[in-house]
């Protein structure tokens, strides 16, 4: 569909809108996005608006609200909040939709928009559709209300059963993001534990990605120094989580996924597994009597699949964990669920010893020119077809061998192609890694000007 404005269409991603401020995304774009989103939802739509801690988010919020008002919407300003809080507000108020101004874990120069509804899951198709609307003025019918949902959201977190086990010492890293304003209430939420908080002041100039090693160094040192039982890192908009054990070791999210599965799965439950996750996650789900369903990476895509399959739980390698009882991904909610599970064990070692050993690479990021990343993936698909190599193309390229698999996919949010491989044993993994290395060399060659 051809858009009716000069907005750069490259900012429309698989499941949100995201770009670099001053380059392909302008603060003023918020106006048009607001007016079109409101008209897509219908006459007098009730719409919640929230924003994260990025420097330009308040300016964009102002433009979004102006656009929503142009289209006659009833606007509920949630203000500075995490993405899960915006989703929660949309449910609580029974709004027609919600707009979260955020670029999630992307660096500080990025910003963007996530869209939420209790009835519609927004991915590229829906976003492109409403951005193609020729907006018409409905000025005169709009309203603007401010809404503080912190108390209600904290109440939801307090209601998660955390058992009567031993007292934990917990280190929290808020990545200077939107969850900083919630973690100040953590003693109220989890009163029977000892909490240490770091990076818990709002700073929109920080890199809010907890998966990056350099962003975890302070949490690791804090966890060791204070002899904490667990360290928990949250991303900039609060929907992702990363966990550190008492020794300061990062718990790979494949293992974290299996800990959740082991702790909450009941026979017959369906679990959505993103394509990047270990094959042993799916094996564990099956062994426990559940049904594993592989899905394309992406929070809105996984939400859609959860609804379609009536799944109980879902997880992504990136640290998004989705719970059917709340209907979305929430880093703090996931962290409290994890603490509840850990109450039943002496330490991480005791639970990890019950899980299968993994022989798997980390997610390898290969920096690619933005305009080339999908072209390269498509070219590699053609090369594989010419060699009669069978592969899955539901999300990039996944080649499955008798002893393991390898994956190559273009990131939907950053200028990377990501790669990963796994083997059944250490020897199998080495074989898979050698094959993957050849593909990585090919990608780098194709990326040259």
Is the CATH code 3.90.25.10 the one for domain 152-352? no
> What is the CATH architecture assignment of 9-148?
3-Layer(aba) Sandwich (3.40)
Half-sphere exposure of 184 (CA within 13 A, CB side): 10
Span 408-419, pLDDT tens digits: 999 987 889 999
Q: What is the pLDDT of residues 70-95, one digit of tens each?
A: 999 999 999 999 999 999 999 999 99
Q: What is d(CA 43, CA 20) in angstroms, rounded to the nearest whole number?
A: 32
Residue 104 appears among annotated catalytic residues: yes
Shared fold status for 9-148 and 359-447: no
For the cut 80, the answer to whether the pLDDT of residue 35 exceeds it is: yes
The Cα 444–Cα 83 span in angstroms is: 35
Q: Which of 83, 104, 123, 318 is catalytic?
A: 104
Residue 417 CB-half CA count within 13 A? 26
Domain locations in the chain as residue ranges: 9-148, 152-352, 359-447
Confidence of residue 2 (pLDDT cuts 50, 70, 90): very low
Say if domain 359-447 classifies as CATH 3.30.310.50.
yes
Running DSSP on this structure, what letter comes out for residue 37? Answer: H
Residues 304-330 have a mean pLDDT of: 94
State the SS3 of 227-263. CCCEEEEECCCCCEEEEECCCCCEECHHHHHHHHHHH
Rounded to the nearest 5 percent, the helix, strand and coil shares of the chain are 35, 25, 40
The lowest-confidence range among 27-41, 78-92, 152-166, 349-363 is 152-166
The torsion angle over the Cα atoms of residues 165, 188, 183 and 252, rounded to 10 degrees, is: 10
**pTM, full prediction:** 0.92
* Nearest partner of 237 among 129, 111, 362, judged by Cα: 111
pLDDT tens digit string along 89-115?
999 999 999 999 999 888 899 999 999
pLDDT for position 323: 95
């Amino acid at each position: 569909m051809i858009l009716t404005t000069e907005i750069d269409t490259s900012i429309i991603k698989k499941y949100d809108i995201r770009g670099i401020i001053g380059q392909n995304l302008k603060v003023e774009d918020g106006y048009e996005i607001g007016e079109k989103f409101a008209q897509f939802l219908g006459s007098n739509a009730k719409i919640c608006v929230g924003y994260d801690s990025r420097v330009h988010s308040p300016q964009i919020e102002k433009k979004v609200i102006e656009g929503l008002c142009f289209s006659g919407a009833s606007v509920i300003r949630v203000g500075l909040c995490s993405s899960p809080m915006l989703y929660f507000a949309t449910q609580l108020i029974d709004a027609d939709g919600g707009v979260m101004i955020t670029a999630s874990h992307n660096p500080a120069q990025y910003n963007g928009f996530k869209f939420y509804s209790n009835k519609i899951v927004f991915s590229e198709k829906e976003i492109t559709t409403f951005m193609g609307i020729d907006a018409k003025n409905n000025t005169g019918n709009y309203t603007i209300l401010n809404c503080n949902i912190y108390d209600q959201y904290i109440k939801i977190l307090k209601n998660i059963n955390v058992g009567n086990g031993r007292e934990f010492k917990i280190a929290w890293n808020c990545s200077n993001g939107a969850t900083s304003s919630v973690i100040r209430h953590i003693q109220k939420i989890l009163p029977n534990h000892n909490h240490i908080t770091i990076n818990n002041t709002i700073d929109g100039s920080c890199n809010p990605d907890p998966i990056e090693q350099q962003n975890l160094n302070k949490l690791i040192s804090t966890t060791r120094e204070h002899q904490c039982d667990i360290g928990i890192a949250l991303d900039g908009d609060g929907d992702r989580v990363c966990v550190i054990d008492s020794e300061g070791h990062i718990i790979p999210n494949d293992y974290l996924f299996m800990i959740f599965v082991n702790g909450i799965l009941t026979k017959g439950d369906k679990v959505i597994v993103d394509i990047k996750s270990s094959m042993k996650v799916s094996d564990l789900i099956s062994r426990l009597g559940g049904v594993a369903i592989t899905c394309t990476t992406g929070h809105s895509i996984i939400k859609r699949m959860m609804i379609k399959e009536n799944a109980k739980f879902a997880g992504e390698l990136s640290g998004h964990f989705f719970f059917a009882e709340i209907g979305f991904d929430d880093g703090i909610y996931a962290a409290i669920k994890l603490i509840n599970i850990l109450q039943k064990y002496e330490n991480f070692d005791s639970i990890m010893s019950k899980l299968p050993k993994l022989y798997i690479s980390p997610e390898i990021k290969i920096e690619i020119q933005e305009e080339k990343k999908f072209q390269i993936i498509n070219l590699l698909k053609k090369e594989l077809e010419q060699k009669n190599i069978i592969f899955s193309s539901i999300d990039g390229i996944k080649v499955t061998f008798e002893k393991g698999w390898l994956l190559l996919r273009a990131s939907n949010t950053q200028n990377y192609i990501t790669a990963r491989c796994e083997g059944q044993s250490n020897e199998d993994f080495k074989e898979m890694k050698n094959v993957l290395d050849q593909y990585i060399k090919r990608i780098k060659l194709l990326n040259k000007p």
